[in-house]
Amino acid sequence: MKTCYNCGKQVKESGVIKEGVKLKCLKCFNCGEEFFSAGEMIRFDMLTGRRKIALN
């Protein structure tokens, strides 16, 4: 279990829809901060057309 970089509380796996793309994230229910893995950010970039090269 990871902790929030902002407030130090535990974060839980959650999901958000950002610009129409569903992403997994770790959400802090204390301060509301959301953390995305690098893989999810790359996927988001590709699905929104910001990144052209697929890694796999």
* Residue number, 16 or 31, with CB nearest to Zn ion: 31
Whole-number Å distance between alpha carbons of 1 and 17? 23
| Closest CB 8 distance from Zn ion, rounded Å | 7
10 binds Zn ion (CB under 5 A): no
Burial state string for 34-52 with b = 16 or more CB within 10 A and e = fewer than 16? eebeeebebbbeeeeeeee
23 binds Zn ion (CB under 5 A): no
30 binds Zn ion (CB under 5 A): yes
- Residues interacting with Zn ion, by CB under 5 A? 4, 6-7, 28, 30-31, 33
